[in-house]
Amino acid sequence: MSNNKSESSSYQFTRAWFDFAFENQGKVSGNHTAMYLWLVELNNRMGWAAQFGAPRDQTMAAAGISSPNTYKKVFNDLVEWGFVYVVKESKNQWTANVVALSKIDGALYTALDKARYRHVTEHDTGTMHGTVNINKPLNPKTKKQVNIETIPDEAEAIIEVDADDYAFEDFWNDFDKKVGDKSKIKKKWEKLRKSERLLIKQHLPQYIAAQPNKQYRKNPETYINNKSWNDEIILRHEPAAQQKPTASFEQKQSGVRDLAAKSAEFLRQFGTSND
């Protein structure tokens, strides 16, 4: 049977987190959520200790983070936002950070609750067309449903960039054959998995070295469509200089006969003059 205190604590932490995430769309990523929920779970397993160790490798594995740089950025964000407090920082990769979760005194009734309250009020005072309430998040500035068009400009300005990813603009410049509809190619690029983009980053320098003349290089769109980063690199070699044909055996024999005949003639003449 579950412990009521544990359930209550878990709910308070996760409720506060998702309220924060809702109010900071574009700032909070899936990596932040995965890491914070793991720290809550880890603290729960340790009986809600005031302080607990959070090993880096264990946290990365639980949150699905493969890059140490990404781990460091996400962890520092959680500290900066006040969800995690560092009691003792690890000295190296073999020791764990000693951390504490910030205290949550109660559920924070913020954006999610306001959206729910607004919808229920309008639903009760308007025409009844159904019996199921649909909670639609609202943009606090425009009071319209939140979507791509209504996300505040300042949120777009702070969208996190993964330092370990390979950006389209970098690919476009590295490929150095700017042909085709760039916007269309970019959409195809964004549909690639991160692992595929990193394979392209490794493959591209070798491909360009094998095809230094961009005239014979594939177009960027063709390269992506054909998944050419999986192709074998075949380096071109200049043809070896033609060697002069060597004399045949018959030619060599003929030369020897000519030399012998000339020698015999020379000796005959030389011997006659001596006599």
CATH code for the domain in which residue 92 is found: 1.10.10
Instruction: In whole angstroms, give the CA distance from residue 247 to residue 236.
Output: 32
Q: Does residue 63 fall inside a structural domain?
A: yes
Q: Which residue is it, tokens 């594995």? A: 61
205: its two tokens: 């320098």
Residues 27, 95 within the same domain: yes
Identity of the highest mean pLDDT range in 40-49, 94-103, 181-190: 181-190
Confidence of residue 47 (pLDDT cuts 50, 70, 90): confident
pLDDT value at position 11?
84
Helices (H) and strands (E) in the chain, counts: 11, 3
Domain that holds residue 60: 4-101
Residues 86, 174 within the same domain: no
Answer whether 84's CB lies under 8 Å from 75's CB.
Answer: yes
Residues 9, 91 within the same domain: yes
pLDDT single digits (tens) 175-203: 999 999 999 999 999 999 998 999 999 99
Residues 226, 181 within the same domain: yes
Residues 29, 94 within the same domain: yes
Instruction: In whole angstroms, give the CA distance from residue 113 to residue 115.
Output: 5
Q: How many domains does the chain have?
A: 3
pTM for the whole structure: 0.40
pLDDT single digits (tens) 145-158: 555 444 444 444 44
Instruction: In whole angstroms, give the CA distance from residue 26 to residue 139.
Output: 13
pLDDT value at position 175?
94
pLDDT single digits (tens) 3-14: 554 555 788 888
Burial pattern 120-132, b for ≥16 Cβ within 10 A else e, equals: eeeeeeeeeeeee
Residues 179, 94 within the same domain: no
Q: Does residue 184 fall inside a structural domain?
A: yes
pLDDT value at position 76?
93
Q: Does residue 254 fall inside a structural domain?
A: no
Residues 59, 80 within the same domain: yes
Residues 50, 84 within the same domain: yes
Q: Does residue 261 fall inside a structural domain?
A: no
